[in-house]
């Protein structure tokens, strides 16, 4: 971790809000800005990062220094680590108790040879349980920048996200901001954005709790289809309205000062 400049966790108290999507597109957008980026998937029971970035079936190698993360063939600017690379079968269930999960996460953080990185993005599972505590305890001495909180616009999602914000405050993890994912639907024919869920939930939550609002990312069929096979949306759809939303979110995240823990 000594060579990693910035460490950002992607959190949400709610499952299914697109944390892995936000984590992967954040990492890929940073790569296109010329940054060296690590992407750590600590969703041990549902690792989806290898598929989203097109690295399914790849293996992790070991060296004298530790595990070597997996790199896409086209460049060495993105280093990826996930339990998905260690499973003999992609459909195998990870049935582990808390202590084994904690040990694996500590190994990911302490024994992976990340090298020199500008950013390490940590994709987490939903909730506020063992995995989150293990990540924060392991990163504490390395001074993580903070957390990006992902929500969808509906009230039921906002309610669970409040718990995640409370968790961050309790453990002293700074909150870098809130991003509202699935904020509207981009029509593949006319590119018009329609609010099929509620709208502005993430923004209203940010204003209420005085947390930075990082922006809204809509549902986009092109992004969904691309992630099924893996790849970088930010490089394959340069004129997309969704890409502009992602770029605004990333730009605001990396140019604004890191807040103090509450």
| Binding-site entries for ATP | 13-20
Cα–Cα distance for residue pair 119/250, rounded to 1 Å: 12
Q: What angle do CA 51, 37, 111 make, to 5 degrees?
A: 85
Going by C-beta distance under 8 Å and a sequence separation of 6 or more, which residues neighbour residue 225?
none
Other CB atoms within 10 A of residue 47 CB: 21
Going by C-beta distance under 8 Å and a sequence separation of 6 or more, which residues neighbour residue 45?
93, 94, 125
Residue 234 CA, distance from chain mean position: 15
Instruction: Give 10's strand partners.
Output: 123, 148
Cα–Cα distance for residue pair 233/231, rounded to 1 Å: 6
Residue 23 CA, distance from chain mean position: 2
Question: Which residues belong to the annotated binding site?
Answer: 13-20, 187, 190
What tokens does 102 get?
């904690």
Question: Which residues belong to the annotated binding site for [4Fe-4S] cluster?
Answer: 187, 190
Residue 110 CA, distance from chain mean position: 19
What tokens does 68 get?
């070597």
């Amino acid at each position: 971790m000594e060579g990693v400049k910035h460490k950002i966790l992607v959190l949400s108290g709610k499952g299914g809000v697109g944390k892995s999507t936000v984590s992967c597109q954040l990492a890929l957008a940073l790569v296109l800005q010329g940054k060296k980026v690590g992407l750590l998937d600590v969703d041990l029971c549902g690792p989806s990062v290898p598929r989203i970035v097109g690295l399914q079936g790849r293996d992790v190698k070991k060296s004298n220094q530790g595990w070597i993360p997996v790199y896409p063939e086209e460049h060495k600017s993105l280093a990826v680590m996930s339990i998905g690379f260690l499973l003999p079968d992609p459909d195998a269930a990870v049935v582990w108790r808390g202590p084994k999960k904690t040990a694996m996460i500590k190994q990911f953080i302490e024994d992976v040879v990340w090298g020199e990185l500008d950013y390490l993005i940590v994709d987490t599972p939903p909730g506020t349980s063992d995995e989150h505590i293990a990540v924060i305890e392991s990163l504490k001495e390395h001074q993580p920048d903070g957390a990006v909180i992902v929500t969808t616009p509906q009230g039921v999602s906002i309610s669970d996200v409040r718990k995640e914000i409370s968790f961050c405050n309790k453990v002293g993890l700074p909150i870098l901001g809130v991003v509202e994912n699935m904020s509207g639907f981009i029509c593949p024919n006319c590119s018009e954005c329609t609010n099929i869920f509620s709208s502005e939930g993430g923004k209203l939550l940010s204003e209420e709790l005085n947390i930075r609002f990082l922006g809204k990312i809509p549902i986009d069929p092109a992004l969904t289809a691309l992630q099924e096979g893996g790849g970088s949306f930010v490089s394959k759809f340069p004129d997309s309205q969704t890409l502009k939303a992602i770029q605004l979110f990333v730009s605001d995240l990396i140019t604004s000062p890191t807040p103090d823990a509450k």
